Chain A
């Protein structure tokens, strides 16, 4: 007779308790993070509810709460963020392609560039604001407090993130694909353009949208760059918008929330809800693109 088989666990009770305790700790960590977010969100929506509606969109910023809205801030945000995307995408993706596909990794200057980009990604955005103030708003470019100043500065803010996420997307394309193309006589550029970039496109667009959505929420550098709170007109349609004064949603929130009058806090909360909705829309688009074009190699 062999010994009877038993599946009763031999793990001591102490270990089981430790396991359960650790699991509980992790649940708590997730709960605190999500809970805080949820409370903030519900509170903001509740506070802003009276003002959420078409009047908020129809009216321009004003010093009188009854007539205050955010129309010029919505269009200002769209212009600033749109231009930022237009400038940062080609620059960022181009840099990423150079670093991943062309640069020789054993050269000192390649490592210097990489180190710089990683450090720039960690620089607080207010520092970019000072840079933009000194070199773009004033100084050599002297563009003043205009939309193009804001966009160029925000481009500098998001560029490192766009580069880093694009590089990751390019690195996810298997080397065997590049070898296959090169072995058929394709040049490096043909390989990149016809095989690598299409393969990396979903990853690049996801990362870039997330980077650009950061620009949508930035207020610190724009406060330095003369984003004005009381702009009672929309940026003109067409190229003239580049040289137009502007306001954006985060500046508007800052302005309304720091006003002493209680009515303005309601408008600030409503503006936050609009800003959050736009951010969710962008991030949703990023997720949709990722799921739609996700590749299996």
Chain B
């Protein structure tokens, strides 16, 4: 057991996070999500900090993706979804009466599990966010597209074919394009829902390097199934698991433990966390 944990910790990058904590950008207090009568996840308390990568890990069905999709109100698209508890962005209620879902999503960007570029040119993919959020001049758009593609470490590969279809890119390039598209709207928070699960190891390494490079400018929340990935890239880790509800046979997700990644992996406070990260459960 000890050996396994040490292996994981060796993968962890040299601590780039100083012991002092960065300011909190988003905070969930007693967050619960239900789909109809089914409660998917309950009573989640989380704090997302600037310049840090927060990893959400846990077995399938533990509600980690559901929690992530609350942060930018993507659950609004599911008619039966109901969110309870409090979720704030700089102290403002994300689900409050004054919060517009579009404005929330402009500030809190998202990258999906499967690369989902629009069937348009590379340029138009990156420019889409700017186009729907108000007009800009051609020169401004050009500059934005280049800056965003550079930010996603894709510029050198595509600069000569910006007008080519985004679908002509490889899977890893498509996912970096989706990251470029997300950072082009200049969000403060970047949500990533298993961004590497559809990619090969080389492309995965590219994305992980990229996450590490850009975290200075964003608060990143990443859902991952991959323990090593969480250990490698994240500063804080939230471990979710499932518990059988009082009635019925469906399982509700709960947050077990949330802390610095080094602590969660080397000296987990909860026995369930320890069993999961050592591979004895899940």
Chain A partners chain B: yes
User: Which of A's residues lie within 8 Å of B, judged by CB?
Assistant: 104-106, 174, 176-187, 190, 194-195, 199, 295-297
Interface residues of B in 166-205 (CB under 8 A from A): 167, 178, 181-182, 185
A176-B112, A190-B132 known; A185+B74 contact, CB < 8 A: no
- Of A105, A182, A187, A195, the residue contacting B118 (CB under 8 A) is A195
Interface residues of B in 227-278 (CB under 8 A from A): none
B77 CB-CB contact with A under 8 Å: yes
Q: Report whether B72 and A183 are in contact in the complex, using a CB–CB cutoff of 8 Å.
A: yes
- What is the chain A residue whose CB lies nearest that of B191? A183
A104-B79, A184-B129, A296-B167 known; A179+B105 contact, CB < 8 A: no
- What is the chain A residue whose CB lies nearest that of B104? A185
A215 to B220, CA, bound (A): 56
Q: Which residues of A contact B109 (CB under 8 A)?
A: 183-184
- What is the chain B residue whose CB lies nearest that of A195? B118
B106 CB-CB contact with A under 8 Å: yes
- Of A183, A186, A296, the residue contacting B74 (CB under 8 A) is A183
Q: Report whether A180 and B112 are in contact in the complex, using a CB–CB cutoff of 8 Å.
A: yes
Q: Report whether B112 and A186 are in contact in the complex, using a CB–CB cutoff of 8 Å.
A: no
* A-B interface, 6 closest residue pairs, ranked by CB to CB distance from nearest: A185-B106, A176-B116, A184-B129, A183-B110, A186-B132, A180-B116
A106 to B181, CA, bound (A): 33
Q: Report whether A106 and B79 are in contact in the complex, using a CB–CB cutoff of 8 Å.
A: yes
Q: Which residues of B contact A174 (CB under 8 A)?
A: 116
Q: Report whether A181 and B74 are in contact in the complex, using a CB–CB cutoff of 8 Å.
A: no
A296 to B167, CA, bound (A): 9
Which residue, of A105, A106, A182, A296, has the highest number of chain B Cβ atoms within 10 A?
Answer: A182
Q: Report whether B112 and A297 are in contact in the complex, using a CB–CB cutoff of 8 Å.
A: no
A25 to B105, CA, bound (A): 59
A-B contact pairs, 25 of them (CB 8 A): A104-B79, A106-B80, A176-B114, A177-B116, A177-B118, A177-B119, A178-B77, A179-B77, A181-B118, A181-B128, A183-B72, A183-B105, A183-B109, A183-B110, A184-B106, A184-B128, A184-B129, A184-B132, A185-B185, A186-B102, A186-B129, A190-B132, A194-B131, A195-B118, A297-B119
User: Which of B's residues lie within 8 Å of A, judged by CB?
Assistant: 72, 74, 77, 79-80, 102-103, 105-106, 109-110, 112, 114, 116-119, 128-129, 131-133, 167, 178, 181-182, 185
Q: Which residues of B contact A106 (CB under 8 A)?
A: 79-80
Q: How close is B94's CB to chain A, nearest CB, in angstroms?
A: 14
A105 to B36, CA, bound (A): 14
- Give me 16 other A-B pairs in contact (C-beta within 8 A), A180-B181, A184-B133, A184-B181 excluded: A106-B79, A176-B116, A179-B74, A182-B74, A183-B72, A183-B105, A184-B109, A184-B129, A185-B103, A185-B105, A185-B132, A186-B128, A187-B102, A194-B132, A296-B167, A297-B119
A99 to B181, CA, bound (A): 29
Q: Which residues of A contact B102 (CB under 8 A)?
A: 185-187
A269 to B114, CA, bound (A): 57
Q: Which residues of A contact B129 (CB under 8 A)?
A: 184-186
Q: How close is B155's CB to chain A, nearest CB, in angstroms?
A: 20
Q: Report whether B80 and A184 are in contact in the complex, using a CB–CB cutoff of 8 Å.
A: no
Q: How close is A141's CB to chain B, nearest CB, in angstroms?
A: 39
Q: How close is A292's CB to chain B, nearest CB, in angstroms?
A: 15
Q: Which residues of B contact A180 (CB under 8 A)?
A: 112, 116-118, 178, 181
Q: How close is B219's CB to chain A, nearest CB, in angstroms?
A: 16
- What is the chain B residue whose CB lies nearest that of A191? B132
A106-B80, A184-B129 known; A295+B74 contact, CB < 8 A: no
Q: Which residues of B contact A187 (CB under 8 A)?
A: 102, 132
Which residue, of B79, B116, B182, has the highest number of chain A Cβ atoms within 10 A?
Answer: B116
Q: How close is B67's CB to chain A, nearest CB, in angstroms?
A: 16
Q: Which residues of B contact A105 (CB under 8 A)?
A: 79
Q: Which residues of A contact B103 (CB under 8 A)?
A: 185
Which residue, of A106, A194, A296, has the highest number of chain B Cβ atoms within 10 A?
Answer: A194
A195 to B119, CA, bound (A): 8
Q: How close is B126's CB to chain A, nearest CB, in angstroms?
A: 10
Q: Report whether B132 and A179 are in contact in the complex, using a CB–CB cutoff of 8 Å.
A: no
- What is the chain B residue whose CB lies nearest that of A174? B116
Q: Which residues of A contact B106 (CB under 8 A)?
A: 184-185
A297 to B166, CA, bound (A): 11
